[in-house]
Amino acid sequence: MERLYQPDFSSIFGEEYASAFIYGQIDSLIWPIFTDFEPSNALLNLFKLKDSYGNNLFYTRKISLEDEKLELICSDMKYGLIQAMEMNRSYGITNEDVITVVKKDPELFKAILSFDLKESVILSIKAIQDEIPVVGIVIYPSFIELDITKNDNQNLNELIEYCKEHHLFLKLDVGNTSIPDNHAQYVTYDKIKSFLSQHTGIITILSGLDISGDFNLYYQLLRLYNNVWIEIDPRTFGGMTPTNSFRQLFSMPGFIQNSWHRITIGSATPTLEVSQMMRGFLEAIETLNFSHKNILKTWGFRNVTRLNPIYFTPSIDPKIFEPLKEIKEIDRIENKNELIFSYKIKLRSFGVTQLLLITNILEKILNSTLEDNPDLKSGELVIRPYHTTVSLLMNEHEYGNYLDLHYFFAEMSSRDSSQFLHTVRALENRADFNHYDHELASIYGKRQFILPIVDRKLEIGSRENYYTLVTFGPRTFFINVKVKLIKEVDIKQQRFN
């Protein structure tokens, strides 16, 4: 259902992301540990780590690569991100471990490399990129004792610049694992906050946060920095089920509002099955309100697709989801006082109910008209739809406000109309059942807007934006736009004549 009620996300993320569902879902954290691959010596040593009771510190299920592919397919995942763990120790997960797995299926798997930054890593990254698709870099400051706040760290600064230039995200792991020699002073809240304030131009994913511990503290950084994301994975669940973990997250005041578009979700396979992560995620959102449930189901496992347009490509041409299909001039009238241009605008929705931004379309029409008439600068622009279930709205285009409005209308249009008389046989000899679509158009929408043109611009408020509310879709529909331009006359000259 979330696909039928999705907004036009092009007004938030850009036209290539108008429809989220042309992109696949992603498991953002998979360790390259499978029974049919020979592990590196570092990985073998990682398996040997024991706690004081003789239990493995790094738990793994014994699964093959084929098992993992099946788990991803059954959970509707298009990609899995294979992650390294370089800690400058005799144990860890090497980039070679990652390369070995990704090479087996580079369409399904993408790499997240890891370095200890004791030396320049750019040539190493380039060499690996020649072999496999790389989408991000992860560093473990508390294990490699890296001070991420030092401005003179040439290797780190060089890595950050390279990541920015090549659409690679940077992942900072805060080290909430039981692996020994964990120097937590390198990943304090203040350290990470300082780093983020110095490097606002690169997407930084905070990974390994403890949901029962420091998550709430570090989560505050999302409110301060727009380039900060958070990864959710079972390493941080602290004994809770995936369902209860997600419920705890989603119950945090403001978490969904601030984070829905900046979370990634990983299974940490072979620690846990991605199917269990998906199951917990879906169970947890079932009790949420309409907008929160739909926005999370739409983007929760897809957010990462926006971080690397090179490797996370759409399965359908995004242009099909562009709302504007045609601008056609249908009439032109000129008299001694004014020029009047009439346009028929063809638009398309791709949801049952959608609120489509048209401010940019109106400005495009006005600018084109004024280009052909450079001496005219005042008048008015009139907008009117042709349909009884298409209407006009004016409001602020802050993306949260836009989504609230959209989902309010979408939820209303989804109500059961069976008690209304409009469900009887229509005159066109077909059943009609869209009472709420007509109600939305009549009560919330307007039939016409008249916008003044002053000094060759629309004279509207700084926060005013214009929308069409279209229901009973997906559908093609039309609006009429009329541009009236006044021919200005010298008043003194007119008086003497």
CATH at 389: 2.60.120.460
Asked if residue 495 has pLDDT above 60, the reply is no
Q: Which of 306, 328, 355 is the last residue of a domain?
A: 306
Q: Note whether 201 and 277 are same-domain residues.
A: yes
The pLDDT assigned to 434 comes to 87
Q: Are residues 348 and 255 in the same domain?
A: no
Higher per-residue pLDDT: 343 or 51? 343
Q: How far apart (Å, rounded) are the C-alpha atoms in residues 84 and 110?
A: 11
Question: Are both 170 and 205 inside the same structural domain?
Answer: yes
State how far the alpha carbon of 211 is from the alpha carbons of 30, 279, 401, 477, in Å.
19, 18, 29, 47
Residue 61 domain flag: yes
Which of 236, 244, 251 has its CA nearest to residue 280?
A: 244
What's the pLDDT band for 490 if we cut at 50, 70, 90?
low
Specify the pLDDT at position 123: 98
Same-domain pairing of 36 and 86: yes
**Residue 219 to residue 228: CA distance in whole angstroms:** 9
Q: What average pLDDT does range 30-39 have in this prediction? A: 96
- pLDDT at res. 497: 53
Per-residue pLDDT reduced to its tens digit, 172-191: 999 888 888 999 999 999 99
Report residue 417's pLDDT band, with 50, 70 and 90 as the boundaries. confident
Cα 270 to Cα 59, 159, 239, 266, 327, distances in angstroms: 8, 29, 17, 11, 53
**Confidence bin at 261 (pLDDT 50/70/90):** very high
Is the domain of 205 the same as that of 230?
Answer: yes
260 and 353, same domain (yes or no): no
Domain boundary at 281, 306, 331, which?
A: 306
- Please provide residue 341's backbone torsions phi and psi, each rounded to the nearest 5 degrees: -110, 130
pLDDT of res. 284: 97
Q: Label residue 288 by pLDDT band (50, 70, 90).
A: very high
Q: Is residue 496 part of a domain?
A: no
Q: Are residues 297 and 323 in the same domain?
A: no
Mean pLDDT confidence for 300-317: 96
Domain boundary pick from 249, 274, 306: 306
Contacts of 316 by beta carbon, 8 Å cutoff, 6+ apart:
19, 22
Please determine, for residue 300, whether its predicted confidence score (pLDDT) is greater than 80: yes
Q: Over pLDDT 70: what percentage of the chain? A: 97
Furthest-apart CA pair in the chain: how many Å?
105
pLDDT of residue 421: 83
Residue 52 falls inside a structural domain: yes
What percentage of residues in the chain have a pLDDT greater than 90? 84
Per-residue b/e over 147-175, b at no fewer than 16 CB within 10 Å? Answer: ebbeeeeebbeebbebbeeebbbbbbbbb
Residue 165, domain CATH = 3.20.20.140
Domain for residue 159, yes or no? yes
Q: Which band of pLDDT confidence, cut at 50, 70 and 90, is reported for residue 216?
A: confident
Q: Is residue 182 part of a domain?
A: yes
Place of tokens 């000129």: 334
How many domains does the structure of the chain reveal? 2
Mean per-residue pLDDT of the chain:
93
CA dihedral sign, ordered 324, 328, 331, 335: positive
DSSP letter at 478 equals E
Integer distance in angstroms from the first to the last C-alpha of the chain? 68
Q: What would the two tokens of residue 474 be?
A: 């997906």
Q: Which of 478, 485, 481 is nearest to 450 (CA)?
A: 481
pLDDT, position 77: 98
d(CA 173, CA 176): 8
**φ, ψ (nearest 5 deg) of residue 350:** -135, 30
Residue 65 lies in a domain: yes
Residues 336 and 434 in one domain: yes
Quote the pLDDT of residue 493. Answer: 53
Per residue in 429-480, pLDDT (tens digit) is 776 788 889 999 999 999 999 999 999 999 999 999 999 999 999 999 999 9
Residue 270 and residue 412 in one domain? no
Whether 327 and 364 have beta carbons less than 8 Å apart is answered as yes
Each residue of 77-127: pLDDT tens digit? 999 999 999 999 999 999 999 999 999 999 999 999 999 999 999 999 999
Phi, psi of 302 (to 5 degrees): -110, -10
Predicted confidence (pLDDT) at residue 160 exceeds the cutoff of 60: yes
Residues 400, 296, single domain; the answer is no
pLDDT of residue 494: 54
Higher per-residue confidence, 378 vs 427? 378
**Do 114 and 47 fall within a single domain?**
yes
Cα separations in angstroms, 137 against 26, 95, 126, 199:
17, 11, 12, 15
pLDDT higher than 90, residue 39: yes
Query: Residue 170 forms beta bridges with which residues?
Result: 137, 204
User: Residue 3 domain-assigned?
Assistant: no
Q: Are residues 367 and 222 in the same domain?
A: no
Give residue 54's pLDDT band: very low, low, confident or very high (50, 70, 90): confident
pLDDT bracket for residue 426 (50, 70, 90): low
Query: Which pLDDT score is estimated for 22?
Result: 96
Q: Which structural domain, as residue segments, surrounds residue 42?
A: 24-306
For residue 17, being part of any structural domain is answered with no
